Amino acid sequence: MGDPAGPILELRGIRKQYGRLAAVDDVSLELRHGEFLTFLGPSGSGKTTTLMLVAGLQQPDSGRIILAGKPVDRLPPYKRDIGMVFQHYALFPHMTVRRNVAFPLEMRGTPRAEAERLVSAALAMVGLPDHGDRLPRQLSGGQQQRVALARAMVYRPALLLMDEPLGALDKALREGLQLEIKRLHREQRMSVLYVTHDQAEALTMSDRIAVFDEGRIQQIGTPSELYERPATRFVASFVGETNFIPGTVLGRDGDACRIAVAGVPMLASDRFSAQPGTRVTLAIRPERLRLSAAGEGVPAELVDLIYLGNARRYVLRLPDGTEWSALLQAGMADAATLRHGDAVRLTWEAAHATAFPG
């Protein structure tokens, strides 16, 4: 199983080319023992191809894949000690639930008594202890995915891979299974690589997230790091909702920079040390905006108010026609009296706004 103090999985400069297209372009990362790491990104960003390379279902053109301290990039899938859960369950329709879960044990020559014990434990783990004699067609979609999960976990692989396993389920089932998988991860201390294009799913389930775009990892970090301190404009736009507005750097103010936004000097964090006169794009989350009817700040007009129950979404138009969105909890005194057509002022804390080049 490798050294528990070191990574269970290492990718070193992995590349996969299809003609002129670099589907995976120099990807390197480490997965820690017992960690839940999610690959997040749009379709075609390279996340699923990277997962297939780790599984051995595709071969890298270059780079190394090291599992539990040993190179596996030239090993066939069945020799990699990896479990896999797909979006479309891939259960054998003519086999009972128990036979489906037992299949990987049979392929490994596990003694019958030991296999029966492991299958019973796996079915109990996913909440289906009494479903062993049913066929897949007699189960709901959520139950079938639980069986697929039990089958992938029954032989206790060093690494569990999941390729959008909840994508075929409805919203309620998906959210319930998110919590179930996270519970199993925590209780079993599994090492998990998980692929999704659903940002809410990634934020809910992950210890860390690797954001992919155009075959490369744009940023890797905890959910809070990606949400609060995005490294690129792409990450800021893909993870969560973000307002973007152009501005011009006026100068430095301690650790922050002063930026002219709609003619008003405002503060923002700036990790690129932009020089005065540089054009930048400011990124601010809707819930970080403050609204007031008077005082200092960027002038705007309230053009729409959307009721969301425990919150209100305010659509605001700036002087140049740009529209921003603010999200405020219901009952906030500063915004409670605002109405459609009102003139407002927008402010924020410097730490909650990020300036990106261009």
Find the CATH number of the domain harbouring 350: 2.40.50.140
Cα 80 from Cα 200, distance rounded (Å): 31
Q: Same structural domain for residues 286 and 155?
A: no
Tally of CA atoms within 13 A in the half-sphere of 203 that contains its CB: 11
Flag whether 1 is in a domain.
no
Residue type, 121: A
Cα 65 from Cα 60, distance rounded (Å): 9
List the 208-213 sheet strands across, edge first: 82-85, 159-163, 192-196, 36-40, 208-213, 216-221
Q: Same structural domain for residues 141 and 180?
A: yes
Flag whether 35 is in a domain.
yes
Q: Same structural domain for residues 128 and 249?
A: no
State the average pLDDT for the chain: 90
Q: What is the structure's pLDDT at 5?
A: 64
Cα 222 from Cα 153, distance rounded (Å): 25
Flag whether 86 is in a domain.
yes
Q: Same structural domain for residues 24 and 94?
A: yes
Q: Same structural domain for residues 218 and 249?
A: no
Q: What angle do CA 260, 262, 266 make, to 5 degrees?
A: 40
Q: Which regions of 134-231 does DSSP assign to beta strands (E)?
A: 159-163, 192-196, 208-213, 216-221
Q: Same structural domain for residues 88 and 130?
A: yes
Q: Same structural domain for residues 125 and 263?
A: no
pLDDT digit string (tens) for 271-322?
A: 777 889 999 999 999 999 998 888 899 999 999 988 888 888 999 999 888 8
Q: What is the structure's pLDDT at 1?
A: 44
Cα 267 from Cα 255, distance rounded (Å): 10
What is the Cα gyration radius of the chain? 25
Q: How many domains does the chain have?
A: 2
Flag whether 65 is in a domain.
yes
Q: Same structural domain for residues 233 and 247?
A: no
Give the distance from CA 238 to its chain's centroid: 10
Q: What is the structure's pLDDT at 266?
A: 94
- pTM of this prediction exceeds 0.85: yes
Strands 311-317 and 323-329: antiparallel
Q: How far is the CA of 1 from the CAs of 55, 85, 156, in angstroms? A: 17, 21, 11
Domain final position from 237, 259, 279? 237
Q: Same structural domain for residues 250 and 352?
A: yes
Contact status, residue 146 vs residue 152, Cβ threshold 8 Å: no
Q: Same structural domain for residues 175 and 56?
A: yes
Cα 169 from Cα 301, distance rounded (Å): 41
pLDDT digit string (tens) for 200-212?
A: 999 999 999 999 9
**Boundaries of domain holding 233:** 7-237
Res. 169: pLDDT tops 80: no
Q: Same structural domain for residues 55 and 140?
A: yes
Domain final position from 207, 237, 267? 237
Flag whether 2 is in a domain.
no
Q: In the predicted model, what is the mean pLDDT of residues 326-346? A: 78
Find the CATH number of the domain harbouring 225: 3.40.50.300
